[in-house]
Amino acid sequence: MKEFLKAFTYAANGIVAAICSTRNLRFHITVAVYVLLAAPIVLESFFEWAVVFLTIGFVIAAEIFNSSIEELCDFITKEKKQQIGLIKDMAAGAVLVSALASVAVGVFLFFLNGRIAKLYDFCLENIWYPVILLVLIIPMILFIKGKRYD
């Protein structure tokens, strides 16, 4: 059981390392935070919540895979090699595919069937909500900007 729990520690260390070293991952996390802040107002079923969580997890996992592949490639060689570049491009392409799919999910769940109007009406009735979203922009930008910890 101790070894099993150790595996979670290693995984958590990997997630933290990816967050600390990957600006794009911090961007995806920031977008996820904003999506999760809007979700209670817009989403109407547990199924929609499940889709949102799976989509967020898919994009974040893709970014972590991409980052690990890039780190491995850089560990193997710092030289500009065509195959290493192709490997990195393919991994980045996988992130792009997952991000585009997540945008499609977001459009279906947040913008169709008048749901954006629901969010807009909520913001008009609860002025504190858009104020909180605006106040969060500065720490989120600082989080995204961050710095690489090696």
Distance CA 120, CA 111 (A): 11
Distance CA 38, CA 79 (A): 44
3 a catalytic residue: no
Distance CA 74, CA 86 (A): 13
Q: In Å, what is the CA distance from 62 to each residue of 113, 130, 143? A: 30, 30, 20
Active-site residue, selected from the candidate residues 3, 44, 48, 63: 63
Residues in Cβ contact with 121 at an 8 Å cutoff, skipping those fewer than 6 apart: none
Positions annotated as catalytic residues are 63
